[in-house]
Structure 1
């Protein structure tokens, strides 16, 4: 008999206790009592939730209409505004007053299962949790309309009331005490609807000047889309975003079978127009600045709603300078500072003033009638015209170290690919200083072409600008952009020039405290980011001072040092033959503050264009800043480095002469010939244009001799030619030769049988019959070899011209499908789609 090995199963059975197996009966009772206990705990928990909700309702019912308004203070700690006027901002409606379709729109958007759940939608919560897990962040909420009402009703209570469990208990209690009709009515009367108003009844009056029962579908969908973000989606502040949000609501209604497709499409297409007799309910002073503060507060505290911010009892300390703000509002209220209009649609304007040492916004003008309209034009994108030249052309050129204000720039008429900018002063070369001072167009485009599109765009991006793919062409040198820029962006960008090359964060809020006076947000201070060399900023300031002293910005001069740049964009309206303008700008700075001024119509058409140029914006800058900075030291700008003597540009090759073109009917070809240009290794490029063609095209490249042939011709056609010489050793080209024209006969030539002719007697001459050669002056000038990011442009390319006046520097809105005007001084319309594309 073999003994068991230590650790064997037999040994373990002998040493351990035998394990008892549970019977099915015990398993059943164990599971049964577990389920019963769970049910009992659930019932107790549910009862506690209900009782807790009932208790909260009974103890805090009065808080439905009570809120502690948040207060805004200026830079000196003086109260300037309260965010809620409790007496005038609410207007309750009975259930019978609220259109059924409005209720359907709200339910379809906010809580599709509103009529099915009892305050808490477990299905929606589960769906939201799944999406949050997939996205690894909170991307969707599961709150019902009842829960939102519960949260809003007790906004002024202890913060623990916002915990989801307590919110749920209040929602369940509300469902037990009230009918669905009562809940939805209370919700629609209580919800914040932007611009300081609560409830759909007050909102209908504010935004549409209508009673609830008179609302159309598109108006109801607009209101239904606002509760998610009333400051962002209300049609007064953001008509385009409001229209997009309305489309989302209408699509949800259609998907749920509440409206037809034709009703949806019709309601989606309506453009919002604010009522003429609209009345702003917020009676606080400085509404544009206050609205900007609210927007900024919601960005720095993303976990609260605008409703919570407004009546949460917060103390918001800002950078507001009341002297500057009053100066802005006084001048914007003076009609004499603006062009008169043909009707009641006024010429509008916007202005931003900031301290460029720390980014503190001093004052904001959102428009002439901001209190009534509510559109903050300081944050609306416009075409900047020549005000963009320092940002994308001259600034990056100075930053490269290869150019200074005394560098001589090309200034002759030429084409860059199919883009042919022009201005009234295009002729002899000029220094960069003179080009900036007089807002020349051609040197700005030439400069961007030399440094390369990518270099210019990267410099602008460091200053806070973004570009669309279709912006990647030379038209941006003159401000031709797809979306444009805002006055706030322009002020921030120029502040880096003013601040010795350091960019700071523009901000309006210093600190936010809660009711307990504990800081819930503090601006940490902007240490600033160096975005350019100090020498670049100093050189730019030197040139921009010349603009104010003796250039296009003379009207901006005041009793202290000023530097700045004008900007004008042409109207860009198809088929409208006028030199009128769309936008005018002045962006400038003193040693302490930077400001941007824009003027123009909200909507440009043939009746609503600006007759004058950027001088009116420059004058507004001077008037406002003189008052705003009264009592401040004048200060001085940093001294710019000394600049060397102007460097002449490379000498061009001599123009090719002796150019002729003869049609040889026997061989059906055109024979071209010219005199050789001086120099070794010179090659030639021939350009040809058919009579009906819009522009010349390259025909032959790298011709080494002085003759060429064109055999690709057709009967009855007329052709024009010119030749350009190229020296590869110096990478330079000549001006175009004289243009010659050749006419090809319409009918085929019949050649008679050749018979011997008598030998001519001495003294006789026989001349061949050759079509005449017409010599014309050159059409266009050739193109310098382009810089980085451009294709080699053929000389002589045509472009459509559009005359201008004054110092108009023209660009317009490409999104409007119009031509972009270019630069101050000539106002030639350009098509942004014709720019030279970046590879």
Structure 2
């Protein structure tokens, strides 16, 4: 073929189409001119196209670089924060996005190849944008279950993940993604890009990043432990996480897994044999870990991180911190299991409402929160009853009354306290079941939860001093509204939280040393640097002797005859019950809430039970008594401490064990002698007693009065009136210690010279007899309303507070009838001794 025949078709077409006038010279010249012009135009257009393309490329690259810089803050991925227990074992995680970032070296090659084969087979050859894939995507959509990938590269998907959080698709956004993808490729290696990609993408069920997904689905933290079928399952999720979830849609997941394995084989990453084995394999999933555990503890940690260390919740849950706590995982687990057991609690109310409860355990060694629960069926950010103020009842007596009496006012466990029915100004408290013994030792007053004794002591030591001691032990009171005697029985304006109560009792357990309550030991950032750490030092707030004597007395509470025997464990325990009785007519034998606060040498715990709001109509009140909280204490503490050593409460060096006072007299007898017109009292001598205090009252008198002190077991009473009937009792004395009261002996004095005789059928009376036949104390009793029933003392603003009898009469009142005995061990009830005086805030 000659050169003439090879001319371009356009010229041939033009010659053919010139028509009949082609022979005219003028027209021929014009056509030649147009051809040159066209060629020139094409050249110019081509040049302009090249310039535009180059300009567009430069613009894209510049825009990509600008986007990278503008979004640099988004490159730091939100990471889950890990929570560790006291043994530095991971127990749970905090996250907005459940993500754990892994380094490039931690990702096995086969895992990377699985995603490359599935999502972007030309990943290692393109520069961020795969034009071939884009073209194919525009021509034809992916055939269902086919091996054809979409138009976006892995780099583009990464750019999209960084730039946008929603799946909207627009031309502008696709162009922006492409621009940033090219910039990413310029600034990063391929391994850096795919590592970032695998750390960011979503894998369903709240898992972000390949490590979180591996732990969720297979329970594997080390990605190198993943087998081929597990790798393929993870790669299958990239296309549609929820659709191909092996938990939600196991069959669809298996089908998509087969596609991934086929693609991996086609790329030469696995052999046909490996493909078949992994396709046929039965996938073994980890147990579902989606349920968040230890929610009260987590909320407590989050709150402490913000209020104490200034780390806001948003920062904490996304910063990839490691938070080391004082949690004992076993104790927390045991507590939550107990609170899921309905049998441990009062039956549901008439309308089906569950009675509520909360509990906290503290470590006596450093104040660490061992375990905590804010309520039954507690959920994240729920109302936390462990940190909410509630009326503490008699559990407050050791805090506001007895600690101060021992610490600064010269009392000891065997000091005798008034236990006679009496009023203090306008405040007239009652003992449970209106049982009174006249006098009781401080030990017995605590053991039996005597209300009158506690109020009498507070009246003696001064309300202000009791309030100061409460604040010293970590429970500040309202300076105006709480300035009354009802605080002796836990009638508080604002109440006290279970955490505060446990913290205060922990001081008794730790020899008077006060530790700051805390859950966080230290906080380590994602780079491994400790950024916050607990460093508060403990301080001595009570004498060791005060703490020791309180502990000895509180130990008696769980012994027979005490109000908290249901808390007795197979190891030394001390504690105190508490309850707040209802005041409404017909309901006074029930309570609004009940407590037990107790401790072993290692741990202190507080348990509260009650309804958030009292509703008498629907049965929203407590019928089981504080013995039930004692039982919950025992249930949790026994199991939580099962593997811990059984330690004793040790007596501090330099602190003497007080000698137990002489035993009480049980054979007091009275006889009227006509010749001397007097009453002779006789009794058996009490070993080691140095004196005997004789008390008497007539039927016409309200209270017993001391009528004499002798050093031998006999007394002659001549100050008698014919026709009157007299009652006597004797208290043995050993040094400063007083023994228990004797039986009460009664005699009627004759009028006409007849010999006096005791009333018929009246034997010795034991005023300390237990309240019921089986010797079970009120708070042990299974009968409804069992408890120490602190009456309607005080008000309170808590959700279950009730109006009460009100407080005392303000400061500077004088002590009157029924005043306390102070430091004078020989002062009779209601008779002020030399050093027996009401405090400056006393109420007469």
Q: TM-score, normalised by structure 2?
A: 0.50
State TM-score, norm by structure 1.
0.50
